[in-house]
Amino acid sequence: MARPVFIVDGSRTPFLKARSGPGPFTPVDLALQCGRPLLARQPFSPTDFDQVILGCVNVIADEMNPARVAALRLGMGEDMVAFTVQINCGSGMQSIDTAYRYIREGHADMILAGGTEALSHAPLVWPNSGVRWFAGLATAKGVAAKLAAAFKLRPRYLKPIIGLERGLTDPITDLNMGQTAEVVGHLFGITRAQSDAYAAESHRRLAHAQGAGFLKGEVETAFSRDGKFFDHDDGVRPDSTAETLAKLRPVFERPWGQVTAGNSSQITDGASWVIVASDAAVAKHRLTPKAAIVDSHWAALDPSIMGLGPVMSATPLLQRNDLTIRDVDTWELNEAFATQVLGCLAAWNDDKFCREILGLDGAAGEIDRERLNVDGGAISLGHPVGTSGNRIVLHLVNAMKRLGTRRGVATECIGGGLGGAMLIEAV
């Protein structure tokens, strides 16, 4: 029989907006900044875990398999099995889901599951023509051959490509992620004013959560090697309004597009961990679970409308558990783009879409905005790709505990045409 699986604790770093050049932390640095205080407050040794699973998309050359590097630097022992998972925006949730399944089936009792991403460290990439020129120069034999190869150099060979820009472009449709949000917005008639109003509200909610201390115990202060400290998500703009955001130009589809820098998620660095445990581990270490993982579901769809991934993944998850949208008290839907979030809400409330695409008897219903992303989301705090899926689960658990709600869903769209959803219940 499947065993119950619990989330007993978790923490994350502040999400730091990428500015000019690489930020103060690599992916593993970030994982350590929130991992050390998390492990230090536990009543057991770091070596008591069975595994470490870490989501990361932008792995840097000096930290291959960052899960293993982080586990060793966290003092978890040389015999600690640790591996990295990658499913784009879902990587941080995939780490939790993999841990959940290992524990549920009896293959482990306690796993440290996380996500980390330093998008500011995304590399510049040489064009293929430049790589071929360097290869020809390196393999040329003799002075004459090397001179001949050198004279073939063209300025365009040395023009670097922004790796992050290519990474955020779908290789099948050749649409970047912002363009896919434009497609979703067009399908459901989302207006620019609606997107800007949603984005402004995200900033207001995060600013309120920070001021009210709602993130205390979730966000750990990070200390860089030059002595600076970072204690809050620094991309929040509490003075944002729909009117000020309306002044920004569309980024992807000018002049008529809906998606701007102001109503999109921010390019950000950050990490997050949760401790996933069986009932046996809870009893052995006398732990107090925060919530139980009930179920999860992954779905796939046309990459050009990847923003509808939450609809395609959360709907079957609810159906399998005999639940409706109205049965969910608290939602965390990752805010890749305001237009995309609003498109998901519109899809669930669209009779034709729900009948023809989801196979329902009619519209699934309307999600109460007071139950959705109650403390803001990626538009205001950022979207470090490999981390966000972990953060939304961690924050969902904490928000449910604070609000006294019983049932929650964390869900996200995933680049490449995927979606992930996880059902959480209070204990």
Q: What is the pLDDT of residues 327-354, one digit of tens each?
A: 999 999 999 999 999 999 999 999 999 9
User: What is the C-alpha to C-alpha distance for residues 336 and 388, in angstroms, rounded to an integer?
Assistant: 10
Take residue 279 and report the two structure tokens written for it: 């009932």
User: For the chain, how many residues are written?
Assistant: 427
Coil vs helix vs strand at 232: coil
Q: Which residues of the chain have pLDDT under 70?
A: none
Q: Is 344 noted as a catalytic residue in this protein?
A: no
pLDDT at 410: 98
Contacts of 199 by beta carbon, 8 Å cutoff, 6+ apart:
240, 242, 245, 262, 263, 338, 379, 380
Provide the CA 201 distance to its chain's centre, in angstroms. Answer: 20
* Span(s) in the chain for CATH 3.40.47.10: 5-122+266-426
Q: Is 56 noted as a catalytic residue in this protein?
A: no
Catalytic residue selected from 121, 203, 297, 383: 383
Half-sphere exposure of 426 (CA within 13 A, CB side): 13
pLDDT at 269: 97
Dihedral sign (CA 212, 213, 218, 220): positive
CB environment 374-406: b (16+ within 10 A), e (fewer): bbbbbbbbbbbbbbbbbbbbbbbbbbbeeeebe
pLDDT at 123: 84
Instruction: Assign residue 310 a region (left: φ > 0; alpha: ψ between -120 and 50; beta: otherwise).
Output: alpha
pTM of the predicted model, to two decimals? 0.94
Contact 427, 405 (CB under 8 A): no
User: What is the C-alpha to C-alpha distance for residues 371 and 382, in angstroms, rounded to an integer?
Assistant: 20
Name the DSSP class of 406: S
User: What is the C-alpha to C-alpha distance for residues 181 and 185, in angstroms, rounded to an integer?
Assistant: 6
Q: Is 34 noted as a catalytic residue in this protein?
A: no
pLDDT at 279: 97
Coil vs helix vs strand at 281: helix
CA dihedral 312, 346, 178, 272 (to 10 degrees): -60
pLDDT at 238: 93
pLDDT at 240: 95
pLDDT at 315: 98
Residues 359-373 have pLDDT tens digits of 999 999 999 999 999
pLDDT at 254: 83
pLDDT at 164: 80
Half-sphere exposure of 82 (CA within 13 A, CB side): 28
Catalytic residue selected from 34, 89, 344, 354: 89
Coil vs helix vs strand at 103: helix
pLDDT at 252: 87
Phi/psi for 418 (5° steps) reads -135, 165
CATH classification number, 5-122+266-426, choose in 3.20.20.140, 3.40.47.10, 3.20.20.10, 3.40.50.1380 = 3.40.47.10
User: What is the C-alpha to C-alpha distance for residues 276 and 292, in angstroms, rounded to an integer?
Assistant: 9
Contact 102, 5 (CB under 8 A): no
Looking at 298-337, list the stretches that DSSP marks H as alpha helix, in order from N- to C-terminal side: 309-320
pLDDT at 8: 98
Between the two ends of the chain, the Cα-to-Cα distance in Å is: 20
User: What is the C-alpha to C-alpha distance for residues 154 and 330, in angstroms, rounded to an integer?
Assistant: 57
Half-sphere exposure of 355 (CA within 13 A, CB side): 5
Catalytic residue selected from 34, 344, 354, 413: 413
Burial (0-12, 13-18, 19+ Cβ within 10 Å), 292:
middle
pLDDT at 256: 85
Take residue 144 and report the two structure tokens written for it: 């004459």
